[in-house]
Amino acid sequence: MSVTPATPLRVGNASGFYGDRFSAVREMLEGGPLDVLTGDYLAELTMLILGRDRLKDPGRGYARTFLRQMEECLGLAADRGVTVVANAGGLNPAGLAGRLRELAARLGADVRVAHVEGDDLMPRTAELGLGDPLTANAYLGAWGIAEALNAGADIVVTGRVTDAALTAGPAAAHFGWARDDYDALAGAVVAGHIIECGAQATGGNYAFFTELAAAGHDLAHPGFPIAEVHADGSAVITKHEGTGGAVTTGTVTAQLVYEVAGARYPGPDVTARLDTVDLTQEGPDRVRVSGVRGEAPPPDLKVGLNSIGGFRNDMTLVLTGLDLDAKAELAERQIRAALRGREPERLEFHRASVVRGYPDRGGGPAELDAPVQDAAAVRLHVEAVDPDPGKVGRGFGAAVVELALASFPGFHATAPPADARPDGVRFTAVHRPAPAVPHTAVLPDGTHVGVPPPDRTRPLVPVPEPPPPEPWPPGPTRRAPLGRVAGARSGDKGSDANLGVWVRGDGEWRWLVHTLTVDELKRLLPETAPLTVTRHLLPRLRAVNFVIEGLLGGGAGSGARSDPQAKALGEWLRARCTDIPEAFLP
């Protein structure tokens, strides 16, 4: 890295998930100056996918896309002096590091490769009381990455580290931070959280995308984000000049409230206080992130477990025209009768509109006097799950299809019977003491350096809810979709959903904080009504965040929702109507 501690460290991101834009690595390397290029490949569901890969071939278990990207761009990164840090090692960081060394030798690239390991707890599941999972990985922090970089590594690949560690590690190494420089570390963690999901910080998946387009921002091919991290941990979020998308306080806020819980954002190295973040638009595509305070990390590390929780299958029938409730009731009665004596452990029926895609379990009403057939139809999803693959195999689908000439009028299915598939279950509420988890940096020369657990820790407790501002005064209102004034972004954390909602003015905040309560959320989203929902306030961001427990069943690889990772939950909420002060509406 060619910069000095007096200048910011330019950390770019080129991947937000396993399957993100392949060309982003080259685009980021060629698009402008960078010091570090990161890549985040490991979503919770990805660990399940890599676990299945490792079952087929023990030599796999890493993100093969990254290796192909390096085959194309390793020489380019070396020529430009850009350090590469990625968690693409997945379940086999040592294996990926070995493949990268072979690649570098073949290409004649003079690069030093290191890796970080210790997160894989599969050999110790019995000792740690983790059961019999498919994968078991602790979320490690930034200091193994920092050790590797301090030893001169040009490429560092890791297993399961926190997403933000990919930014915090290079920053800690570059600026020489101590392990108790909590404010600086917290600032880098927040910057890392903002850029970790790639183009989500530059206008991708943005609630007010139509406004960006109207302002002349090209969203056809958004650029990937860059964090210019300073020695005090503050950062400027930007992107390469001339690339698509936009970086605004809105796009940054949207990513800040993504998949977080309360004001304390815990990690292995530091707990960042999200209620201290200040955002300032410094210029076109430049947002300063400052004021972040940090605290000692919690004593325990999060451990992610993935298990094959049985097998699943599904069939989708189409109900058309009149008497949809009666047709659905008849189909369910007939299917349960056909499966009597071999009914799966879990058999669920739920409806969704073919065209409108109503997300609620009741499904939207089909359109009467519809000009096209699809508008007159709804889908009836039949989900079957059981530990015995025989109960949910092709025989399950065949039992449904056998009703084709003996059921409701208009009976047809969207696909023929298929084989059972593994049902992945994700458990996220598992923690183990940090000293119980090894954290090792394997340097370019093969030396193993142990990273000790933190000297100081602080139990994670919620921040007391701050007093709300004065309510917006009574006045004329108009019934309109919430999304006319509020943005939202949502996602998954295991079996729970996270839903962040923000507004852009102080008046709207005074209204939102008193209006969008837990009870109101449950009214607007009836699917959440029976569940435990917790609201957290982030006043500096004019945001509220909801954690909805159990919405996603067993997790992204298991749930029966049509949106198993809750990615569109926020957009459903924005489309729901409520009484909004006319002062806030066009």
Q: Are 109 and 27 in contact (CB under 8 A)?
A: no
Token pair of 58, please?
């023990």
Kindly state whether residues 195 and 319 are assigned to the same domain.
Answer: no
**Of the candidates 251, 269, 298, which is a domain's last residue?**
298
Cα angle for residues 22, 63, 564 (degrees, 5° grid):
85
- Given the structure tokens 């458990």, which residue do they identify? 427
3-class secondary structure, 320: strand
- The whole-angstrom separation of Cα 53 and Cα 50 is 5
Among 549, 478, 488, which Cα is nearest to 516's?
488
Do residues 556 and 530 share a domain? yes
How far apart CA 313 and CA 391 sit, in angstroms, is: 9
Last residue of a domain, one of 298, 321, 353: 298
Q: What is the pLDDT of residues 285-311, one digit of tens each?
A: 999 999 999 999 999 999 999 887 788
In a domain, 433, yes or no: no
Q: Which residue has the tokens 């047709």?
A: 327
Which pLDDT does position 555 carry in this prediction?
65
User: Are 468 and 537 in contact, with CB atoms under 8 Å apart?
Assistant: yes
Question: Which tens digits make up the pLDDT trace of 429-480?
Answer: 578 899 999 999 999 999 999 999 999 999 999 999 889 999 999 999 999 9
User: How much is the pLDDT for 424?
Assistant: 65
Please choose, from the candidates 168, 111, 113, 114, the residue with its C-alpha nearest in 3D space to the C-alpha of residue 139.
168
Distance CA 398, CA 410 (A): 18
Range of the domain at 523: 477-584
Looking at the structure, tell me whether residues 258 and 379 fall in a common domain. Answer: no
Q: Is 440 exposed, middle or buried (0-12, 13-18, 19+ CB in 10 A)?
A: middle
pLDDT computed for residue 358 by the predictor: 36
Task: Tell me whether residue 93 is in a domain.
Answer: yes
Same domain, 257 and 342: no
* Paired sense of beta strands 83-86 and 155-158, if any: parallel
Residue 585: closest CA among 503, 448, 485, 514: 485
Q: Is the Cβ–Cβ distance between 278 and 268 less than 8 Å? A: no
Instruction: Please check whether residue 398 lies inside any domain of the structure.
Output: yes
Does residue 289 sit in the same domain as residue 326?
no
pLDDT computed for residue 158 by the predictor:
98
What is the distance of C-alpha 4 from the center of its chain?
Answer: 33
- The structural domain count of the chain equals 3
CA 211 to chain centre: 24
At residue 553, the pLDDT reads 78
Phi, psi of 22 (to 5 degrees): -60, -40
Q: State how far the Cα of 443 lies from the Cα of 456, in Å rounded to an integer.
A: 26
572/521 same-domain check? yes
| Strand-pair partners of 226 | 12, 238
| Distance separating alpha carbons of residues 378 and 357, to the nearest angstrom | 9
- 551 neighbors 534 (Cβ within 8 angstroms): no
DSSP conformation class of 74: H
**Global confidence as pTM:** 0.91
For residue 2, being part of any structural domain is answered with no
| Within-domain flag for 539 | yes
**Contact by Cβ (8 Å): 573, 482:** yes
Q: Which has the closest alpha carbon to 275: 256, 258, 259?
A: 256
Residue 432: φ, ψ to 5°: -135, 150
CA-to-CA distance for 115 and 555, rounded, in angstroms?
29
Residues 506, 471: Cα–Cα separation, whole Å? 11
Residues 242 and 391 in one domain: no
User: Cα angle at 101 between 55 and 15, to 5 degrees?
Assistant: 65
* Domain contains 569: yes
465 lies in a domain? no
The CATH number linked to 374 is: 3.30.70
Please give the Cα distance from 409 to 321 (Å, whole number).
9
Q: Which of 425, 427, 420, 372 is nearest to 398 (CA)?
A: 420
231 and 182 in a common domain: yes
User: Within a domain: residue 442?
Assistant: no
Q: What angle do CA 142, 437, 134 make, to 5 degrees?
A: 100
pLDDT value at position 44? 80
Give the pLDDT confidence score for residue 428 in this predicted structure: 58
Handedness of CA 126, 129, 133, 139 (dihedral sign): negative
CA distance linking residue 548 with residue 345, whole number of Å: 25
Residues 215 and 256 in one domain: yes
The per-residue DSSP string of 121-186 comes to -GGGTTTTT--S-SEEEE-B-SHHHHHHHHTT-SEEEESSB-TTHHHHHHHHHHHT--TT-HHHHH
C-alpha pair distances (Å), 8 with each of 13, 174, 242, 354, 526: 16, 10, 21, 51, 47
Same domain, 400 and 538: no
- Helices 394-401 and 324-338: crossing angle in degrees, nearest 10, is 130
Question: Of the candidates 566, 471, 470, 579, which has an alpha carbon nearest to the alpha carbon of residue 523?
Answer: 579
Identify the segments of the chain with pLDDT beneath 50: 2, 355-364
| 235 and 91 within one domain | yes
Q: Return the amino acid letter for 467.
A: P
76 and 140 in a single domain? The answer is yes
